[in-house]
Amino acid sequence: MTDGNPKAWDHTVDVLIIGSGAGAMTAGITAHDRGAKALLIEKSDRYGGSSAMSGGGLWIPNNHLMKQAEIADSPSDAWDYLSSVTDGAVSEERLRAYIDTAPEMLKYLSNETHLAMETLPEYADYYPRAPGSKPGGRALDPKNFDARKLGDDFLAMRDQNPQMLIMGRIFMTIFEARTMLTQGPGWIRLMLKLSLRYILDIPWRFRSKRDRNLAMGNALIGMLRLSMLDRGIPLWLETGAHELLVENGRVIGALVEQKGRTLCVRAEKGVILAAGGFEGNQEMRSKFLPSPTSAEWTCANPNNTGDAIQMGLALGASIDMMEEAWWGPVTVVPGEPHARMLVIEKSLPGGVMVNQNGERFVNEASTYTDVVNAMYANDKPESPCIPAYLVFDATYRSKYPCGPMLPGSNQPDWALPKAFRQGYLKKSDSLTGLAGQIGVDPAGLAGTVAKMNEYARSGKDPDFLRGETDFDRYYGDANVKPNPCLAPIEKPPFYAIEAFPGELGTKGGLKTDSRARVLREDGNEIPGLYAIGNCSASVMGPTYPGAGATLGPATTFGYIAARDAVPV
Ligand SMILES: Cc1cc2nc3c(=O)[nH]c(=O)nc-3n(C[C@H](O)[C@H](O)[C@H](O)COP(=O)(O)OP(=O)(O)OC[C@H]3O[C@@H](n4cnc5c(N)ncnc54)[C@H](O)[C@@H]3O)c2cc1C
């Protein structure tokens, strides 16, 4: 920590925002619109962070788009739901700040910026049995956004995680992804439409292989970035903060490293930390997350290395929930820089997740966070769960995509890359043979599959209740009866891929109050310092209430922090 005045400031702004994800951009826009001079800095040579790589969904209870779609919600339903699922882990003040401000933030961005979202009326809250839950509407999907509006600036946007793209290239919205991956009504026509839209976009193809019809996280970041460009809000790339500067106990700026030189940036009204979690930092993972853990298991931006948390700690900030992440089972694909989360695959009928005894340990169709919590909770020497295995049969393989593989009907096994055929995808004509390949107890696997086949016929899973809630069924195959999440695993060959306890980002970090101010151990705030997004301990506690429950808070607390720093 530097306590003193750097002799000369290289640059002075009102609000310095460290990071360039959706929360950082929201903070920058809000501060600017309140008359402040804002600056965003980004450590890497690409802006957008995990926000750009993501689904771009925002979970906003009681939002105005629900009202337009005539889906009822209220602050009291939102309170019932959030207070139930967070189960005392988060203060009432912070939860209320989220419930009260998130709809206002959304309305503000919808009215004043290029942000355009759509409600997902069937995307249920992740805990449908909790009081105040909704069968849909709180999760919002970014509309498509034309990258041409950004000009060359688009090329500096971080790429979408390939798991969110068709064939690693073509954009689809969250709604379209569900239709295609679960083979919902019209999926073939939709697939053709999106593929042709990409292929026939010939002038743009000369410019970039990237699809310009952005969706998901790239669309969200594109809309916010264009809104920054309209306002002339600067964003410095390749500029990483490494130390906060303090004067008389107040944070007044930061030392930043820009292409080999150190600059002193003064922030008259506040510094907003928005530098993501520590998912890319193996040392911090090993220290704080449950064991085992690996930076290879993250789907997120590898540049998120806990810098903001370290900078806060250096000033005596308090940290919380460091053992938590936005968990989900992931597959690590040879040759790919990021893991892929098995969001849909785990719920589709004809698959089952087993431990190394060949036994199930969870409702595979439950939230991704719950699947990983069960993985860690059940990982015992006598029943190892890490890795677990997603096992499926030829029918599943032929119908559905899985990890990087298209459905077998589009991409038969012989057309898979060699690395997939020789190691990544295990395959055998018998369950016993498959068990031998993955080192799983053959009798255990055979017993589990026999039970799953019985459950598929009855439509009831008495062990883990798979397919019983709206959320489970959201990623089931509606054509499969009686339970869209259960089908027999009976047609050889049989397949398996490994599943690891990965995440979309960590969610423990600097403790903040309802105004996003960073707190010390004694509960007092550090004047001038704010933290939002995954460098702050999440307002969602250890749970994942619905799709968009990480970006909803990042943008909302970005808005809150900027308003607090720049009162009018
Ligand atoms: C595949 C995938 C799908 C997802 N889908 C969704 C979804 O649909 N909805 C949802 O709510 N969440 C989703 N998430 C999670 C969500 O993307 C993240 O939780 C969220 O983006 C975190 O926002 P953030 O602002 O904390 O971090 P980021 O968006 O990662 O931004 C942090 C930025 O700070 C930069 N940085 C790091 N250190 C420094 C430093 N020292 N100086 C300057 N800059 C620094 C990083 O390079 C990065 O660009 C998804 C994530 C992934 C990977």
Distance CA 568, CA 552 (A): 24
Q: How far is the CA of 525 from the centre of ligand 1 (A)?
A: 25
Query: Whose alpha carbon is nearest atom 40 of ligand 1?
Result: 240
Q: Is residue 276 lining ligand 1, measured as CB closer than 6 Å?
A: yes
Task: Tell me if the bond preceding 527 is cis, omega within 30° of 0.
Answer: no
Q: Is residue 57 lining ligand 1, measured as CB closer than 6 Å?
A: yes
Bridge-partner residues for 409, per DSSP? none
pLDDT score recorded for residue 263: 98
Distance CA 97, CA 93 (A): 6
Classify the C-alpha dihedral 415-174-29-535 as positive or negative: negative
Among residues 337, 385, 338, the alpha carbon closest in space to that of 364 is found at 385
Q: Is residue 546 lining ligand 1, measured as CB closer than 6 Å?
A: no
Q: How far is the CA of 277 from the centre of ligand 1 (A)?
A: 8
Q: Is residue 20 lining ligand 1, measured as CB closer than 6 Å?
A: yes
For residue 431, give every residue at least 6 positions away whose Cβ sits within 8 Å of its Cβ, in sequence order, or none.
442, 445, 446, 449, 494
> In the block, which residue shows the tokens 């209870």?
61
Q: Is residue 281 lining ligand 1, measured as CB closer than 6 Å?
A: no
Q: How many CA atoms lie within 13 A of 180 on its CB side?
A: 25
DSSP 482-503: S-TT-----SSSEEEEEEEEEE
Q: How far is the CA of 414 from the centre of ligand 1 (A)?
A: 36
Q: Is residue 445 lining ligand 1, measured as CB closer than 6 Å?
A: no
Q: How far is the CA of 20 from the centre of ligand 1 (A)?
A: 8
Q: Which atom of ligand 1 is nearest to the CA of 23?
A: 25
3-class secondary-structure state, position 294:
coil
* Cβ–Cβ under 8 Å, residues 529 and 565: no
> In the block, which residue shows the tokens 């689904």?
55
Query: Whose alpha carbon is nearest atom 38 of ligand 1?
Result: 275
Q: Is residue 19 lining ligand 1, measured as CB closer than 6 Å?
A: yes
From residue 403, alpha-carbon distances to 338, 346, 368, 411 in Å are 12, 10, 15, 13
pLDDT score recorded for residue 1: 42
Q: Is residue 548 lining ligand 1, measured as CB closer than 6 Å?
A: yes
Q: Is residue 501 lining ligand 1, measured as CB closer than 6 Å?
A: no
Distance CA 227, CA 30 (A): 11
Q: Is residue 326 lining ligand 1, measured as CB closer than 6 Å?
A: yes
> What is the tens place of the pLDDT at every residue in 246-273?
999 999 999 999 999 999 999 999 999 9
Exposure string for 524-546, b = 16+ CB within 10 A, e = fewer? ebbebbbbbbbbbbbbbbbbbbb
Distance CA 156, CA 43 (A): 13
User: 439: how many CB neighbours lie within 10 A of its CB?
Assistant: 10
Cα first-last separation, the chain: 31
Query: Per-residue confidence of the chain (568 residues) as pLDDT tens digits?
Result: 444 455 589 999 999 999 999 999 999 999 999 999 999 999 999 999 999 999 999 999 999 999 999 999 999 999 999 999 999 999 999 999 999 999 999 999 999 999 999 999 999 999 999 999 999 999 999 999 999 999 999 999 999 998 889 888 999 999 999 888 888 889 889 999 999 999 999 999 888 889 999 999 999 999 999 999 999 999 999 999 999 999 999 999 999 999 999 999 999 999 999 999 999 999 999 999 999 999 999 999 999 999 999 999 999 999 999 999 999 999 999 999 999 999 999 999 999 999 999 999 999 999 999 999 999 999 999 999 999 999 999 999 999 999 999 999 989 999 999 999 999 999 999 999 999 999 999 999 999 999 999 999 999 999 999 999 999 999 999 999 999 999 999 999 999 999 999 999 999 999 999 999 999 999 999 999 999 999 999 999 999 999 999 999 999 999 999 999 999 9
Pairing type for strands 139-142 and 58-59 reads: antiparallel
Angle at 61 between CA 58 and CA 67, to 5 degrees: 105
Pairing type for strands 525-531 and 261-273 reads: parallel
Q: How far is the CA of 422 from the centre of ligand 1 (A)?
A: 33
User: 302: how many CB neighbours lie within 10 A of its CB?
Assistant: 15
Q: How far is the CA of 509 from the centre of ligand 1 (A)?
A: 14
Q: Is residue 528 lining ligand 1, measured as CB closer than 6 Å?
A: no
Bridge-partner residues for 157, per DSSP? 47
DSSP 85-122: HHTTSS-HHHHHHHHHHHHHHHHHHHHHSS--EEE-TT
* DSSP H helices in 253-393: 282-288, 307-314, 368-377
